[in-house]
Amino acid sequence: MGREIKFSFVYRDMWQSSGKYQPRVDQLVRIAPVIIDMGCFSRVETNGGAFEQVNLLYGENPNKSVRDWTAPFNKVGIQTHMLERGLNGLRMYPVPRDVRRLMFKVKKAQGTNISRSFDGLNDARNLELSVKYAKEAGMISQGALCITHSPIHTVDYYVKFADKLVDFGVDEFCLKDMAGVGRPAFLGKLVTELKKKHPNIPIQYHGHTGPGFSVASMLEVARAGADILDAAIDPLSWGMVHPDIITLQEMLKDAGFSVPDINMKAYMEARALTQEFIDDFLGYFIDPSNHIMNSLLIGCGLPGGMMGSMMADLRTMHPAINMALRNNGKAEVSLNDLVVQLFEEVGYIWPKLGYPPLVTPFSQYVKNIALMNILSMAQGQPRFSNIDKDSWNMILGKAGTLPGKLDDEIIQLAKSKGFEFYTGNPQDEYPDALDSYREEMDKNGWEYGEDDEELFELAMHDRQYRDYKAGLARERFNADLEKAREKAGAPIIVTREVIEVPRFDAEAVQKQFPNAKPIQATVSGQVIWQIDVDDVSSAPVVGTKVNEGDTICFIQTYYGIEEVKALASGKIVQIETKQGDQVVKNQVLAYID
């Protein structure tokens, strides 16, 4: 057999396509042993990025989520890794030095082994403390090279950037091809040069599939010497996420590499659980277009991970843009037209903005400028009439040095507004802040938490943490979910106290009701029974008056079989049983004729 290639599972990354939510901690805990049973992953990307923030948006404690999610992998020796944004930590704007330092201490204590650190501008200064603090906390420091395709992003550019990370003491490299626009041959050459200069530093490749290069890229980087490849599983592989592990394993095996076998029984179970999580509520927030690869992304270079939020923004702005076009006597545009127009506008302004790699948060900034340009032009105003504060900070150098030169048009616009360009170290602009957060916690009587993890969450996500503690986050999530379900025509939910039910005897039911039809529950896969009632007097319904012609369904719950009447013809009924204050999430659906 040839050289060994290892795989990393990017389950956390798969949920970026929702643009808002991810599985709850109870769901993650359920799927962890199944991922382990698959036997093909040496690593799992468990947290980082927006993971903690999303937990707070649910009204859940993110510290419990990280500890419970990483624990099963730690127990069997599968490495866990997180994603962090250098100067921005786990959020979209800069983080004070002492908060960054605490982050690595907390994440290591919670069970995260590897920190994948990236800077959206590839400014090495923003990663120096990430490497230092990760190693200080006992973590493996993986320095990411944000891959994009432009005249200035050459092999030599990336090798020089990697050299600086090595000087800081980085343990590994990651080629973070967040938009999947890295050309396969280019990536192969880059890996070859990195291995020549730093033969003992492992290289992990992370490439999204959106534009369609990813599988070819993975073969090229493997042949050039890459050690680990990021992969996903159905039903959230491909599209805007990552290639499926089955395809990668078979491709590399055929190419002569030594790759681990896949336990297909466990794969199918993980696949089913992922679909169950989608059916539970996540599917309401996943844009259908995120399941589709799109070569239009090659031109604009936007990452697939932001497609969910981008489409939400476009749908919000679409009416305003069309109204502006009507007011100016111009033809309206469809949503599809607007998508293409946005991609083209990003491609036009990106060089003018100094070619920032289109990764969080800079992909959002460039997209925001492009979208506001489209609105401004629809209103009869010039481009760059409306640039938000964060985007200006990027332009002015407050987040780091842009890779390329700003267009003279942008420079003159900044000067006309009296703005000054910043050339210092961005971290110096954000003083330590933990003492102020300690004062807030003491005032509110909040515990600092194990390893100061609650203090860290407040300092990193202060607004979301306050809403979580006040219970507002849970209220918003429930309202958000209710609206999404209503819009999608979701099941009617019936919640009631647990009742004593007799053991279900299928033979007895069929004997009593010869016309009973077994049907399949759409989520759990359990067989239930549907009966069209003609003889009302014999209908076996608990506590319900039945009218002639109604339909009876036997619903499987954790407490036995319940018999329910259809609420309305053609509707779906969903039963949640309640015991005290706790709702049992049996989530079994039944179609009613």
Cβ count within 10 A of residue 525? 10
8 A C-beta contact, residue 28 and residue 68: yes
Closest CA to 543 of 565, 559, 558: 565
The helix (H) or strand (E) run that includes residue 486 is helix 472-488
Helix (H, G, I), strand (E, B) or coil at 141: strand
Q: Which amino acid is at 54?
A: V
pLDDT at 593: 33
**Burial tier of 576 (Cβ tally within 10 Å: 0-12, 13-18, 19+):** middle
Rounded to whole angstroms, how far apart are CA atoms 492 and 494? 7
Rounded to whole angstroms, how far apart are CA atoms 330 and 581? 57
How far CA 309 is from CA of 133, 336, 367, in Å, comes to: 31, 16, 11
DSSP 177: E
The helix (H) or strand (E) run that includes residue 527 is strand 527-532
Whether omega before 94 lies within 30 degrees of 0, making that bond cis, reads: no
Q: What share of the chain is helix, strand, coil (3-state, %, to 5)?
A: 50, 15, 35
Flag residues of the chain having pLDDT under 50. 18, 492, 494-504, 518-551, 555-575, 577, 579, 583-593
Question: How far is residue 276 CA from its own chain's centroid?
Answer: 17
Angle CA(340)–CA(344)–CA(348) in degrees, nearest 5? Answer: 170
pLDDT at 516: 54
Starting at the edge strand found earlier in the chain, the sheet holding 551-557 runs 517-520, 527-532, 551-557, 560-565
The helix (H) or strand (E) run that includes residue 156 is helix 155-168
Q: Which phi and psi (to 5°) does residue 135 adopt?
A: -70, -35
Helix (H, G, I), strand (E, B) or coil at 311: helix
Cβ count within 10 A of residue 143? 29
Q: What is the largest CA-CA distance in the chain?
A: 86
Residue in the block written with tokens 């076996």: 540
Q: Which phi and psi (to 5°) does residue 180 adopt?
A: 65, 25
**Burial tier of 312 (Cβ tally within 10 Å: 0-12, 13-18, 19+):** middle
Helix (H, G, I), strand (E, B) or coil at 371: helix
Tens of pLDDT, residue by residue over 301-312, are 877 667 767 777
8 A C-beta contact, residue 250 and residue 238: no
pLDDT at 554: 52
Closest CA to 248 of 504, 41, 27, 514: 41
Domain boundaries, the chain: 6-285, 297-426, 491-591
Rounded to whole angstroms, how far apart are CA atoms 371 and 446? 41
- Which residues 6+ apart lie within 8 Å of 151 measured at CB? none
Rounded to whole angstroms, how far apart are CA atoms 123 and 400? 6
Paired strand residues for 43: 8, 79
Rounded to whole angstroms, how far apart are CA atoms 290 and 287? 6
Rounded to whole angstroms, how far apart are CA atoms 436 and 223? 51
Q: Helix 184-197 to helix 155-168 angle, to the nearest 10 degrees?
A: 40
Strands (E), 153-221: 172-177, 203-207
Q: Which residues of 78-103 are buried (b: 16+ CB within 10 A; e: fewer)?
A: bbbbbbbbbbbbbbeebbbbbbbbbb
- Which residues 6+ apart lie within 8 Å of 416 measured at CB? none
- Say whether domain 6-285 belongs to CATH 3.20.20.70: yes
Angle CA(129)–CA(130)–CA(135) in degrees, nearest 5? Answer: 100
Rounded to whole angstroms, how far apart are CA atoms 65 and 209? 28
pLDDT at 197: 97
Q: Which amino acid is at 488?
A: A
8 A C-beta contact, residue 38 and residue 262: yes
Strands (E), 186-307: 203-207, 228-231
Rounded to whole angstroms, how far apart are CA atoms 235 and 244? 9
